[in-house]
Amino acid sequence: MNHLPEPCLVIDGSARHGIEVGVYRDQGWLAHASTEEGALEGLWYATEKALHEARLSLSEIKSFAVCVGPGSMLGIRITALAVRTWSALATRPIYVWETLPVLAQVLLQRGGRTKPFLALTESRMKRWHAIHVNPLSQPAIIWQKELSVEEVRAEKLPLVVTTESALSVFPESELCAPAWPDLPSLIARGEGFRLEPKPDALNAATDYATWSGERHRGHS
């Protein structure tokens, strides 16, 4: 299990629009800022706002956590480069998390799910990042892949989506609440976060490997 040194600056630039930045400490958000601006402008604005609200300077941050996707390649690469630069200026550990496994964990910890489902986020070229989750199996995450609309429907599973725009493609799907408010509980347990000194965006063009719990398990 990974225990992220606190305070930790947490950044998610994976959404198609906007940036989320939070300062994590004592199992919750000490401060949080978001913006709909572009990745470059939005990162600096949200980071400064979150640090100001937390009454901290960047030099007082003890670790970083950044989302590496799948998602917006530009947003992920800008945020990854930023934390790599800040860590190089004063050595601090960098942790990463992946969008779909963390989304699956959030959905499971919210409870009330007893049947297999697919959780989807938008990809490129009218394709979808999908994760197959079975709440009753161990591990619960069966696989993650990039699928076409037809391949998603061929799975014949209930669908959970993260954006309202996805409802126009899959009107039968469930729109889930944002995962960001639930991140602190995962960080506190170290679930889904792993050390990565040189984070970069996941390769969206490659299908995901079959889920392995060992790959995402933190080191004690």
Contact criterion met (CB below 8 Å) for 218 and 190: yes
* Average pLDDT estimate for 71-83: 93
- Kindly state the percentage of the chain with pLDDT values over 70: 91
How does residue 220 score in pLDDT terms, banded at 50, 70 and 90? Answer: very low
Q: State the fold for domain 100-175.
A: Nucleotidyltransferase; domain 5 (3.30.420)
- pLDDT confidence bin for 212, thresholds 50/70/90: very low
Share of the chain above pLDDT 90, in %: 80
Average pLDDT over residues 32-52: 93
Q: Which residues pair with 118 in a beta bridge?
A: 132, 159
100-175 matches 8-98+178-208 in CATH topology: yes
**Residue 158 contacts residue 118 (beta carbons within 8 Å):** yes
What digits encode the pLDDT tens for the residues 91-107?
999 999 999 999 999 99
- For residues 103 and 179, the answer to whether their CB atoms sit within 8 Å is yes
Tell me what pLDDT residue 214 has.
38
Residue 102's pLDDT is: 96
Where are the chain's structural domains?
8-98+178-208, 100-175
C-alpha 181 chain-centroid distance:
12
In CATH terms, the fold of domain 8-98+178-208 is Nucleotidyltransferase; domain 5 (3.30.420)
Write out the H or E segment, with its range, that includes residue 195. strand 194-195
Nearest alpha carbon to residue 173 among 184, 164, 182, 181: 164
* Torsion angle, alpha carbons of 119, 122, 126, 128, to 10: -30
Per residue in 119-149, pLDDT tens? 999 998 889 999 999 999 999 999 999 999 9
| Nearest Cα residue to 177 out of 186, 164, 190, 191 | 164
The span from the CA of 156 to the CA of 180, in Å, is 28
pTM: 0.88
Mean per-residue pLDDT, 78-89? 95
What stretches of 21-175 show up as alpha helix (H) in DSSP? 39-54, 73-89, 99-109, 149-154, 164-167
